[in-house]
């Protein structure tokens, strides 16, 4: 299932996230995901596994033009004029389907202009932001020549991002959810509504949550190293939640984040150089 971005690019609604995966795990997970039908792969400079992701794609044998490859620039490379070329080299590809700025710190305005030029040069198909909300997002929307196509943020039934979604809808910007299952929070995963609906539709609680995301218009990138879990996460397109069921899940929203974008964290990100493991 694909979604059309505001620049006309088609993007799959579900993909594999590779956050916190070692190069070996990322390569194998990417290979397994593509072999079982995934066509969206998400990585980042900061995950230090981009080379492995590129190897996993090559190993799958699926043509590059059938894969939607997404990565993110780390803040300490925002001022590096070669950052995108170096990212392309690590991924072993001629272009990136979606390139995001990872955090709202350092010279993110200059970095956004660099990404806009990369679109004009044909090196990037679409651009967006990760973890941008509030004033930083407003600044980008006011200065950009190419609108962000996607904003990647924390989103799950406990944190539905209702206000942000309403703001983004004005510019037809899509939400991509990380922590789509709530960072493994058992209290979320075992909510009675998910257990009940899982029994009704013969699915797992996690599959019910992921289906809620899809029907909410979210792009999702659940991460897993387990081939069976990877397969199950994508097996959510043979049923549909009713409006009442969607509303029941929406009512779980308690504005609960698992990640707080504190100023001290952003300051640390702005000075955190990428490690050599990036090139493994």
Residues annotated as catalytic (active site), given as ranges: 47
Cβ-count burial 155-191 (b if 16+ within 10 Å, e if not): bbbbbbbeebbebbeeeebbbbbbbbbbeeeeebbeb
- DSSP output for 23-64: HHHHHHHHHHHHHTT--EEE--GGGT-HHHHHHHHHHH---G
Provide CB contacts within 8 A for 227, sequence distance 6+: 32, 36
The whole-angstrom separation of Cα 32 and Cα 94 is: 23
CB distance 41 to 202 below 8 Å:
no
The whole-angstrom separation of Cα 233 and Cα 66 is: 20
The whole-angstrom separation of Cα 38 and Cα 31 is: 10
The whole-angstrom separation of Cα 172 and Cα 259 is: 25
Name the nearest CA neighbour of 47 among 78, 11, 91: 91
The whole-angstrom separation of Cα 254 and Cα 256 is: 5
- Cβ neighbours of 99 (radius 10 Å): 26
């Amino acid at each position: 299932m694909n979604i059309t971005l505001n620049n006309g690019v088609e993007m799959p609604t579900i993909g594999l996230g590779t956050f916190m995966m070692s190069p070996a795990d990322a390569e194998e997970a990417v290979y397994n995901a593509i072999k079982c039908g995934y066509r969206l792969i998400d990585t980042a400079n900061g995950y230090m596994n981009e080379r492995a992701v590129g190897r996993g794609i090559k190993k799958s044998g699926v043509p590059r033009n059938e894969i939607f490859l997404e990565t993110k620039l780390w803040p300490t490379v925002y001022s590096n004029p070669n950052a995108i070329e170096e990212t392309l080299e690590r991924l072993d590809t001629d272009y990136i389907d979606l390139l995001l700025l990872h955090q709202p710190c350092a010279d993110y305005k200059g970095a956004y202009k660099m990404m806009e030029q990369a679109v004009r040069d044909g090196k990037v198909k679409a651009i967006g932001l990760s973890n941008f909300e509030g004033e930083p997002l407003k600044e980008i929307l006011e200065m950009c020549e190419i609108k962000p196509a996607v904003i990647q943020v924390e989103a799950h039934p406990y944190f539905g991002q209702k206000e942000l979604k309403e703001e983004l809808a004005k510019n037809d910007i899509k939400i991509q959810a990380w922590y789509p299952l709530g960072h493994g929070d058992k209290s979320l995963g075992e909510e009675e509504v998910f257990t009940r609906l899982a029994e009704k539709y013969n699915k797992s609680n996690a599959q019910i949550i992921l289906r809620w995301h899809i029907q909410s218009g979210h792009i999702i990138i659940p991460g897993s190293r387990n081939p069976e879990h990877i397969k199950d996460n994508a097996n959510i397109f043979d049923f549909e939640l009713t409006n009442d069921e969607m509303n029941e899940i929406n009512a779980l929203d308690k504005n609960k984040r698992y990640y707080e974008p504190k100023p001290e964290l952003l300051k640390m990100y702005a000075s955190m150089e990428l490690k050599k493991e990036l090139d493994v």
